[in-house]
Structure 1
Amino acid sequence: MVNTLETVDKIDKVIGELGITKVTENKNVVEYALENGLKLLTLENHTSPVVTLLVVYKVGSRNEAVGYTGSTHFLEHMLFKGTKKHNTDKGNGIDDLLTQIGAYWNATTWFDRTSYFEVVPSEYLELCVELEADRMRNLLLRQEDHDSEMSVVRNEMERGENYPEEAIEKELYAIAFREHPYHHPTIGWRSDVEGVDMEKLREFYNTFYWPNNATVILVGDFEPTKALTYMQKYFGKIPKSPQPIPTVYTTEPPQEGERRFEIHRSGDLPKVWAGYHVPNASHADNYPLAVIRHILGSTYERSSRFYRALIDNSIAAEVFARHDDLRDPALFIVGATLNPEVEIEKAETAIFEELAKLAKEPVTDEELDRARSANRKGTILSKADPSSLAFMLGEAESKADWHWLMNYDDKFDAVTKEDIMRVAGKYFVKSNRTVGHFFPKNSEDGSVSNDGDDDEEEGAPPADAHKAAEEINVTAFLNSRPPVTKVKAAKSTFKVPTFESRVVKQVMPNGMTLLLLQNPGTESVGITSTTRAGKFFSYKEPNALPDFAADLMTKGSQNYSKLKMAEILENMGIPGGLEFAVDNYRLSFGSNLVSDDMPQFVDMLADIMRHPLFLEEELAKTKIEWRARLTEAMSNTRLMAWNSVRRNLYPKDHPF
């Protein structure tokens, strides 16, 4: 039964009057259907006066073909440009209105879907429903908007090309998939993005943006009868698509041999990635693959197989395993960023050896139990945030349906050691994989090389940009915009939320200050800690000293070894939950955990804070890891620019 502010009889009466059908209910999520085919999912959560509205369209880059790749992403940008009723020219565009009410809003595009969302005070739900329904079918799609947004999309594409990870991922999917549209990057191929015309975008919009190709998800603080009334009022008047929504029928044939590629471009550390073809999210083998992902682990999972094989042995600075469970068969991806002077073949061999072990030897009981616990507790922590839960439901809708999420943990728990060995032996084979090597390439003077033929560096401002900037009259520009329409203040039954009076402050005998704030109903606890121990207090010492100290605190304490600490945190579902950060004035960390785990977490935290071991062997490994991080940071232009600014603003012996 749903935890609702209204009676079931009242809700049933209203949906009968509105012509809305209640389809099903599962774990407090209620599914409704409008006559035009729109699916609506609702989940009430009255812990705070905030509501999340998410609209998921079942269209992504899998619905594109050569000539108009990137259209889904481009349309995502265009949906913020306005409709006849709501646009910036009138001063009542989406951004104009949502800014005034303190909303958080955005949109994202992926292989299988495009999602638009707003997180707003509960009393403004109707405004959000109106805006989303309006742009579903009434988008202006003007040429001038297309032209202005082109530079934004191009800039986003160029920023992505600066990251080696994005370059190797794009190439990996493009080579692993030759026929299926997962071959195309979500952002599109550059020539398609720059060449697609407005008519093609309009055709794409008129093909996929209909109520019978969308799911609206509502999570948070709302009254069901009002919410359903808003849905019928604004979405209900939109007809279903005049033609059936096109389906994707192209399938990728089995791979018949290993494929390899190399990328040589600007960067600082070599990388090796490998992708294996795996089934779609609805396939039974999806769950053993998800368990394997946990067991292989990542940089943040220090008890995992990959961490111990590659990072503990100083082969890699970063390592990961990733399971892309999508609507169609996709990839299981593994990869590593190498430490300086390590041969790429050494890292590749270590990765493949770990994958081979999974097919030959059963995983341990401890590994399987830890994966199950981490998954279960990760779900609890994600569901503690209503917005996060809305996004989880949206992803489930895009790859299968929302029941997939409701049943996920039970199917994950049912995975056996035999399932893992069978699945690993079936998919992690040489003929089923695509391997990519990234080799950094820099110019002799240390600047990023430009392979283009243009005289000016790609993305650089024109030579007379400073002159153009000087000629802009900012005041005149702002005055030329129409006045923004004021959002009418909505009636609210809630007072302005404040927790000041509920905070309990206690000073411990040792001088530590403790602040407590209860927030029942989430099954979770948030813990943060701040200690005055930043770089300011050691600025005459070696600059990296505070960073090394922070890093070593979680590498072993009096009562908790590095491995034991990692196993406990991963069992709690928070593998990175005790990572300390250092700035100029403080040493700090923050973590969310399941409430039942708090006693053990606090005991471990106290031991780490008071009795860290600072082992020589861990310091040696930390230095190797930091050398790799610093090497990679040298290709981060924004970071390098910021460091240059600070060096010029402050004298050499200044802590900043």
Structure 2
Amino acid sequence: MFKLKTTLCALAIVGVMTLVSAAAAQALPDKVSKVAEVQGITEYRLANGLQVLLFPDSSKPTLTVSTSYRVGSRMEGYGETGMAHLLEHLTFKGTKNIVNVGQELSKRGIGFNGQTGPDDTKYFETFPATADTLDWVLGVEAERMTAANIAKSDLDSEMTVVRNEMESGENSPARILSEKMAAAAYQWHSYGKSTIGARSDVENVNIAHLQNFYRKYYQPDNATLVVAGKFDPAHALAVIAHDFGSLPKPARVLEPTHTTEPVQEGERMVTLRRPGGEQWVALLYHIVAGTSPDAPAFDAIASALGDDPNGRLYKRLIETRKAQENYVTTRLLVDPGYLQIEVKLKPTDNIEEVKKILLDTVEGLAREPITEEELKRAKLKNKNGFERFFDNPQSFAFGVANAATFGDWRLIFAQYEHMQNLQLADVNRVAAQWFKPSNRTLGMFIPTDHPDRVPAAVKTDVAAMMKDFKAGEAIAAGEDFVATPENIEARTERVTLPSGLKLMLLPKKTRGETVVVDLQMHFGNEENLRGQRPAGELVGQMLDRGTTRHTRKQLSDASDAIQTNLGVQGWISGAKAGLQTKREHLSAALNLLAEILREPSFPPDEFAQLKNEVAGGLESSAKEPQLIADVALHRYLHAYAYDDPRYSTSFDEHLKEVNAVKLDDVKRFYQKYWGMDHGEIAVVGDFDAQAVKAQLTALFGSWKSSMPYQRVPGVLSTAAPKVLVAETPDKQNAIAIGSIPLALRDSDPDFPALGVAGHVWGAGFDSRLNKRIRQKDGLSYGVGGGISASGFEEADGQLGMGAIYAPQNRAKLEAAFADELQRFVHDGISAEELASAKQAIATQRNTMYAADGAEANLLVDRTLQNRTLAYDIDLASKTDALTLEQVNAAIRKWIKPDAAIWSLAGDFAKADCKPPMLCTPKSG
């Protein structure tokens, strides 16, 4: 797992750029001009100033539309913080011709969201590629651009939701520490203010000022529209010209922001004291703007410091078990940004010792320069990420829109080339200039008599830098594969290897010649797994920490060298593994996976480190309301014996088990249980089926477990209705999780009807729960629910529901859930809700089939259930044929509101809680 984070990372594929004059361009719609082209990506400009980027890719059966406005928290005035974020919420409400944008998107099963940052606000929609849906989405975005209502009534109803979003962040000490450090580091610039805004500003926002803010910035000349995926560019451009071209170019002029943060003149310090399950030490250093030629050097420095497991901080703090985790984040922004380093410690760790090592490592870069090996590793990781960029239309859309905010969308390619051409001398020059005590903000105050200042950051002339820019090669395109269950099933070859492992092969041409592998293993039975939980649950986490041939660091470098993402996880009765790579590296990737699975060395130092990490995570989790509520509910629903493999441990029990388990126990479990005589593996993408079949037979065809296997079944909960309440002092956000157990399998005749009912109940923006608890009552930022069932037995069926909320709103939330449950059963759903749910489910289903990883996972799961995708075809057919009477009859038959079991966690003792129903601030 890599914990390195960057914001303007050159993750794209380079093509050949050609500037094109209007005279040389092909016939275009009226008032549309072609500006520039990097292979496969074309920029157009409308007469009203709208920037349009089109990236057609027929190998992707989905489409992403992204609209980015160059407005964020940086543009907010004094007393008006949070305005950009508020507009993001309100533009999902009503417009001139659309009653509720969010509900209309949700009804159609379109994946959507918004994101507000310091420099811009982005919206996206992702959906199966159809011209009709694209036309409709473009019309919605054109409507949202200048015709959103931004009404006082919508602001009032959304206010509690926004406050709840604020409060959800208050539960994270690390997040609040980061916000306070940024505020200390930035004396004048708005980057020191949280994007969500000051609570007082948000709660007292002037609606007229907010409307003026919207009219000022939500305009075509301040926006970038990106369309990426499978579509006809000529058709899309014509629709864009029609829908957006009619919007007038505003007369107002947007003045550039001019605040420049002065050079910091001494160490700054922040101390945060609040409840939590871990300690944190963090450092923040000002750096250059994202457009600076020196920006890639900071990514290289961040890699050298923060890479897991090769980074300096990892080796000095994590491997030595002085700390739990480390993160390095480069915030490359329009104006000079910052680099932040965070280290997580257990409550018993020595924070002063960690602080000293941290400071010596980071501010010792001048005397211990970055090495050629570290720079090479950083470049390789950058290159691997760069070449995966176009695989995801949504990531592509956000990436180029982000670069456009910086001044030119092609910067994303230029910065990649800067990174790949980066010289070691420049990296170490930057490290020596910027990582100084005078430029540091820390969680403590350390005075100094002689400040050592960094140079002033300057902005870059983007136009001059990009004048003669030439891009590199394009990657191979994929085939136009229609990802339906019928087509997937027809092309899939199924084979059983000599060991018993079931193999599914789905070859197809993919963009960039990518291929994914999904593997599942199953072992043991209910009896022979008794008492094996502590050892069995650590095996999977040890496998990639060293083999008989390679150390953990060498395994990490080996996977990077063959451009492969690889992961393994295990539990007491099974394991999963997966990888993503390119066709040319698949054979090497499978060999590496086999080595990890079959030749683990179980290094003692890595085992001690793993135990330390797991223990720290448990200590932290034991104070988080959501995890506390979830564990309590699961333990109450399924009260197995302690030695039963299905038993769910408490936090204390789990911690004791981890501390007590021995390495020999883990080795013994692996030797006895692991094998591939019961398992499934799917390979999807660009590969030679015969070669892969032969290689997997050689690698896994004879590997069998020595222990008898029989799937450990679930048992239907017989738990009585109850309310479980846990107090979490000083946590600003509470959680409620509810369950109504159902004796339901996914093969039950009523399952299709209940699936639709569950969608109406809690899935999406237009669900019953969202419309009532978020939109009408304004009680929760996150609320939802649904109906689930197993393909094996009736044990795991349930109607689930949950919400985050402020503890003082507990009584209102409980009343709303109870009321909606009764209405759901008594009234059923409407014909309109049925039609909307069917459409949304079909759209989401088609979107899922479009991802190679999802296809591989689906093939594995269906094979485990002794099914083919005929099950999915049949389920879709039955769902599409459902009548309103069938759905409502299923709801009345299965859903019993009085059978609900609730698990609540929050700081209820401080809340003014008058008991109407469930309000009992003592543990149940």
Name the TM tier (shorter chain).
Answer: 0.7 to 0.9
Contact 1:361 1:421 in 2 (8 A): no
Match 1:200 to one of 202, 206, 209:
209
Quick one: distance in 2 between partners of 1:212 and 1:537? 68
Q: Which SS does the other structure have where 1:545 is aligned?
A: helix
Q: Give the equivalent residue in structure 1 for 2:510.
A: 521
Deviation at 1:204, TM superposition (A): 0.8
1:544 counterpart letter in structure 2: P
> Residues 13, 303 of structure 1: CA spacing in aligned structure 2 closer, same or farther, 3 A cutoff?
closer
Q: Does 1:613 align with 2:601?
A: yes
The residue number in structure 1 matching 2:900 is: none
The alpha-carbon deviation at position 28 of structure 1 amounts to 2.1
Question: In structure 2, the residue corresponding to 1:244 is in which secondary structure?
Answer: coil
Correspondence for 1:477? none
1:570 to 1:267, Cα distance in 2 relative to 1, 3 A: farther
| 4+ long deviations beyond 6 Å | 534-538
For residue 554 of structure 1, give the secondary structure of its aligned residue in structure 2.
helix
In 1, distance between residues paired with 2:562 and 2:390?
Answer: 15
1:380 and 1:297 map into 2 onto residues whose CA distance is 22
Change (3 A) 1:343 1:47: same
- Residue 580 of structure 1 corresponds to 568
- Asked if 2 retains the 8 angstrom alpha-carbon contact of 1:271 and 1:336, the reply is yes
CA-to-partner distance for each residue in 1:529-553, whole Å, 9 max, x for gaps? 2111599787632543233111111
Give the distance between the partners of 1:53 and 1:263, measured in 2 at CA. Answer: 41
Equivalent residue, structure 2, for 1:79: 91
Q: Deviations over 1:96-129 (max 9, x none)?
A: 4323433111111111110011112222111011
- Give the direction of change, closer, same or farther, for the CA distance of 1:20–1:306 in structure 2 (3 Å limit): same
1:164 maps to 2:173: yes
Q: Report whether the alignment pairs 1:65 with 2:55.
A: no
**Equivalent of residue 407 in structure 1, options 407, 414, 422:** 414
1:552 to 2:564 alignment: no
Matches within 5 A, 1:269-280: 269-280=278-289
Cα pair distance change 1:652/1:511, threshold 3 Å: closer
Computing the radius of gyration from Cα coordinates, the structure with the larger value is 2
Q: What is the one-letter code of the residue matched to 1:335?
A: E
SS in 2 for 1:336: strand
| Residues in 2 aligned to 1:437 and 1:150: alpha-carbon distance in whole angstroms | 35
CA contact (8 A) 2:95 2:101 kept: no
Cα distance in 2 for partners of 1:537, 1:82 equals 58
1:621 Cα deviation from its structure 2 partner: 1.6
Provide TM-score, normalisation by structure 1. 0.85
Is the 1:45–1:220 contact (alpha carbons within 8 Å) kept by the matching residues of 2? yes
Where does 1:46-445 land on structure 2 (aligned, <5 Å)? Answer: 46-87=58-99, 93-123=100-130, 124-298=133-307, 301-436=308-443
Q: Matched residues in 2 for 1:538 and 1:385: separation?
A: 44
- 8 A contact 1:297–1:320 mirrored in 2: yes
Which of 22, 25, 40 is residue 37 of structure 2 equivalent to?
25
CA 1:533 to 1:252, structure 2 compared with 1: closer, same or farther past 3 Å?
A: farther
CA distance in 2, matches of 1:623, 1:495: 43
Q: For 2:101 and 2:489, locate their aligned partners in 1 and report how far apart those are by CA, in whole Å.
A: 33
Of residues 289-298 and 167-176 in structure 1, the stretch that sits farther from structure 2 once superposed is 289-298
Q: Could you say what secondary structure the match of 1:118 adopts?
A: strand
Q: Check whether the contact 1:381–1:593 (CA below 8 A) recurs between aligned residues.
A: no
- Cα distance in 1, alignment partners of residues 185 and 137 from structure 2: 40
Structure 2: unaligned runs, 5 residues or longer = 1-13, 446-480, 648-924
Residues in 2 aligned to 1:26 and 1:67: alpha-carbon distance in whole angstroms? 42
Please state how far the C-alpha of 1:408 moved relative to its aligned partner: 2.1
SS state of the match for residue 397, structure 2? helix
Normalising by the residue count of structure 2, what TM-score does the alignment of the two structures yield?
0.61
Counterpart of 2:360, as a letter, is: E
Deviations 1:120-156 (A, max 9, x none): 2222111011000001111112211111100111110
- Give the whole-Å Cα distance in 2 for the aligned partners of 1:293 and 1:522: 30
Q: Residues of 2 paired with 1:214 and 1:510: CA distance?
A: 57
Paired residue for 1:635? 623
1:502 matched residue in structure 2 = 491
Which residue number in structure 1 is paired with residue 500 of structure 2? 511
Change (3 A) 1:494 1:557: closer
Q: Is the 2:42–2:55 contact (alpha carbons within 8 Å) kept by the matching residues of 1?
A: yes
Per the TM alignment, residue 74 of structure 1 is displaced from its structure 2 partner at its CA by: 0.6
Cα contact 1:548–1:619 (8 A) shared by 2: no
The aligned counterpart of 2:780 is none
Query: Which amino acid in structure 2 is aligned with residue 314 of structure 1?
Result: R
Q: Residues 229 and 179 of structure 1: is their aligned pair in 2 closer, same or farther, counting only changes over 3 Å?
A: same
Aligned residue for 2:194, secondary structure, equals coil
Q: Which residue does the alignment assign to 2:785?
A: none
* Aligned 8 A contact 2:277 2:346 in 1: no
Q: Deviations over 1:349-375 (max 9, x none)?
A: 222222244322443332222211111
**Match for 1:589: what amino acid?**
A
Relative to structure 1, the CA distance from residue 600 to residue 327 in structure 2 (aligned partners, 3 Å threshold; closer, same or farther) is same
Aligned 8 A contact 1:359 1:420 in 2: no
| 1:271–1:437 Cα contact (<8 Å) kept | no
User: Could you tell me how far apart the structure 1 residues matched to 2:527 and 2:617 are?
Assistant: 24
Residue 57 of structure 1: how far off its partner (Å): 0.2
CA contact (8 A) 1:554 1:578 kept: no
Identity %: 31
Q: Distance in 1 between matches of 2:223 and 2:621?
A: 41
How many angstroms apart in 2 are the aligned matches of 1:538 and 1:347? 44
Residue aligning to 1:599: 587
Inter-CA distance 43–544: structure 2 relative to 1 (3 Å threshold): same
Q: Equivalent residue of 2:511, what SS?
A: coil
Secondary structure in structure 2 of the residue aligned to 1:402: coil
Tell me, yes or no, if the aligned pair for 1:52 and 1:218 is still in contact at 8 Å. Answer: yes
- Give the letter aligned to residue 163 of structure 1: S
Instruction: Read off the aligned partner of 1:363 and give its amino acid letter.
Output: I
- DSSP-derived class of the 1:499 partner: helix
In the alignment, the residues of structure 2 paired with residue 535 and residue 244 of structure 1 have an alpha-carbon distance, to the nearest angstrom, of: 71
Question: Counterpart of 1:231 in structure 2: which amino acid?
Answer: I
1:196, CA displacement in angstroms? 0.6
Distance 1:495 1:581, change over 3 A: closer
Distance 1:67 1:525, change over 3 A: same
Alignment partner of 1:531 is 2:521:
yes
Aligned-partner Cα distance in 2 for 1:599–1:366: 26
1:470 maps to which residue? Answer: none
Give the RMSD, CA atoms, in angstroms.
2.5
The answer to whether the 8 Å contact 1:535/1:546 transfers is: no
Measure how far apart 1:604 and its partner are: 1.4
Please say if 1:41 is aligned against 2:40.
no
Question: Relative to structure 1, is the Cα distance of residues 266 and 579 closer, same or farther in structure 2, using a 3 angstrom cutoff?
Answer: farther
1:450-488 residue CA offsets vs partner (Å, 9 max, x unmatched)? xxxxxxxxxxxxxxxxxxxxxxxxxxxxxxxxxxxxxxx
Question: Of residues 641, 646, 649 in structure 1, which corresponds to 2:634?
Answer: 646
Structure 1 CA distance for aligned equivalents of residues 109 and 97 of structure 2: 22
